Amino acid sequence: MEEKVLKARPGMPMLILFILLYFAAIGLIILGGTLLDNQQSIGALPLIVGIIWMIFGIFPFFGLKIIKPQEALVLTLFGKYTGTLREAGFYYVHPFSSAVNPAYKTRLGQSGDVDSAASSKLVISSEGNTVQASTATKKISLKVMTLNNSKQKVNDVLGNPVEIGIAVMWRVVDTAKAVFNVDNFKEFLSLQCDSAVRNIVRIYPYDVAEGVDTTGDGEPDEGSLRGSSSLVAERIRKEIQEKVETAGIEILEARITYLAYAPEIAAAMLQRQQATAIVDARKMIVDGAVGMVEMALEKLNENNIVELDEERKAAMVSNLLVVLCGNRDAQPVVNSGSLY
């Protein structure tokens, strides 16, 4: 169902008219009572008309609607969709029109719902308990909302459990689709967010892994949840947008707000990362030490400083590697005698 903008009458002239009619009804009642006191039967007619308007004249006031900026009101008349009020202002619609918003009581902990919950009133129930009475209305907010779903535990492409949380910026662009195409557009959005996160996260490893294809082109790449967070978030946004198109919702942005290994494997993965870092550092040190030893031997040969046989070269290489690759400072030993 497509949205239809309702062109309603201005509310202020109608409000003034109804107030004047109430004063007129009061005047008719006074006039009718005066005529009846004078024993004139014609006074019964204005008296009856005035009383009828005083009783039923309240109903036209139900058609007065106030719309704030960035708000919309979906209206139906006897079950038929009549249109949506989107422009801010004071309007008059059919007094029997009813507003429809199945999600107005739903609280997801998102930006607009937090504001609504903060403005709720505390009342005392008949049992003496303090309860929270929500002041939420059936108006649909057209503002940009932020949905921050709870963290999820998902297995990555390698089967490692990771915890991930996302924040989704969204807004309603078609109120008719949001109200009539789905049962509750807020719950629908939250469910699709969880589903999209699971579908995308299972494609990526937490860290860069060999032989993993995250793009679907058949070639291994270096994509990962930790290193390609912006790309992962964009793929999540597109996945959610495809699923909530039928609900008239636009997904503006998705961001990863939390990413970590699950607690049961976090310690083991930390040790693995530390071991990998140590191995990489040692490899770099050894490569540099071998290069320095090679350079030292070449300089000694070029300048003919000393002639070393193979046994002495081996001893020199061993000593230099111990000095360069050791974790502690070398303790020099002065040999005043012969090596043999």
**What's the pLDDT tens digit per position in 270-295?**
766 776 777 777 788 777 777 877 77
Last residue of a domain, one of 100, 133, 157: 100
Task: State the pLDDT confidence band at 115, using cuts at 50, 70 and 90.
Answer: low
95 within domain boundaries: yes
Domain of residue 44: give its range. 9-100
127 within domain boundaries: no
Angle subtended at Cα 49 by Cα 45 and Cα 51, rounded to the nearest 5 degrees: 115
Residues 251 and 282 in one domain: no
For residues 189 and 340, which has the higher predicted lDDT (pLDDT)? 189
Q: Is 90 exceeded by the pLDDT of residue 188?
A: yes
Distances (CA, A) of 55 to 15, 51, 52, 58, 238: 17, 6, 5, 7, 56
Q: Is 70 exceeded by the pLDDT of residue 81?
A: yes
How high is the pLDDT of residue 12? 93
Residues 16 and 75 in one domain: yes
* 79 CA to centre of own chain: 33
Mean pLDDT of 103-121: 63
Q: Does residue 83 contact residue 97 with C-beta atoms inside 8 Å?
A: no
How high is the pLDDT of residue 120? 46
Q: What are phi and psi of 28, to 5 degrees?
A: -65, -40
Mean pLDDT of 301-325: 70
Residues 288 and 256 in one domain: no
4 within domain boundaries: no
Mean pLDDT of 137-156: 88
How high is the pLDDT of residue 7? 87
Print the SS3 string covering 34-51. Answer: HHHHCCCHHHHHHHHHHH
Last residue of a domain, one of 100, 125, 154: 100
- Mapping DSSP to helix (H, G, I), strand (E, B) and coil, where does residue 99 land? strand
334 within domain boundaries: no
154 within domain boundaries: yes
Q: Is 90 exceeded by the pLDDT of residue 309?
A: no
For residues 265 and 3, which has the higher predicted lDDT (pLDDT)? 3
Q: Does residue 95 contact residue 60 with C-beta atoms inside 8 Å?
A: yes
Residues 186 and 297 in one domain: no
Q: Does residue 132 contact residue 116 with C-beta atoms inside 8 Å?
A: no
Last residue of a domain, one of 214, 242, 261: 261
| Mean pLDDT for the chain overall | 81
How high is the pLDDT of residue 16? 93
Residues 213 and 167 in one domain: yes
- Mapping DSSP to helix (H, G, I), strand (E, B) and coil, where does residue 338 land? coil
82-86, 134-138, 318-322: least confidently modelled range:
134-138
Q: Does residue 165 contact residue 258 with C-beta atoms inside 8 Å?
A: yes
Q: Is 90 exceeded by the pLDDT of residue 71?
A: yes
Task: Count up the domains in the chain and report the number.
Answer: 3
Most confident of 91-105, 118-132, 218-232: 91-105
**What's the pLDDT tens digit per position in 16-57?**
999 999 899 889 888 888 877 776 667 688 888 888 988 888
Most confident of 2-11, 148-157, 162-171: 162-171
d(CA 274, CA 3): 57
In the chain, pLDDT over 70 holds for what percent of residues?
79
d(CA 54, CA 47): 11
How high is the pLDDT of residue 296? 75
Question: Positive or negative, the Cα torsion across 128, 132, 135, 140?
Answer: negative
**What's the pLDDT tens digit per position in 239-261?**
999 999 999 999 999 999 998 88
Can you give the CATH number for the domain in which 180 is found?
3.30.479.30
Task: State the pLDDT confidence band at 111, using cuts at 50, 70 and 90.
Answer: low
Residues 241 and 275 in one domain: no
Residues 189 and 295 in one domain: no
52 within domain boundaries: yes
Residues 195 and 256 in one domain: yes
How high is the pLDDT of residue 247? 93
Q: Is 90 exceeded by the pLDDT of residue 299?
A: no
Mean pLDDT of 226-234: 89
209 within domain boundaries: yes
Name the one residue in this structure whose structure tokens are 């969204």. 170
Residues 251 and 276 in one domain: no
For residues 223 and 118, which has the higher predicted lDDT (pLDDT)? 223
For residues 35 and 87, which has the higher predicted lDDT (pLDDT)? 87
How high is the pLDDT of residue 127? 40
Angle subtended at Cα 221 by Cα 220 and Cα 225, rounded to the nearest 5 degrees: 125
pTM for the full predicted model: 0.70
304 within domain boundaries: yes
Residues 215 and 239 in one domain: yes
Residues 187 and 95 in one domain: no
Q: What are phi and psi of 146, to 5 degrees?
A: -115, 120
Mean pLDDT of 68-75: 93
Instruction: Tell me whether strands 80-85 and 145-148 are parallel, antiparallel or unpaired.
Output: unpaired
Residues 242 and 285 in one domain: no
Q: Is 50 exceeded by the pLDDT of residue 210?
A: yes
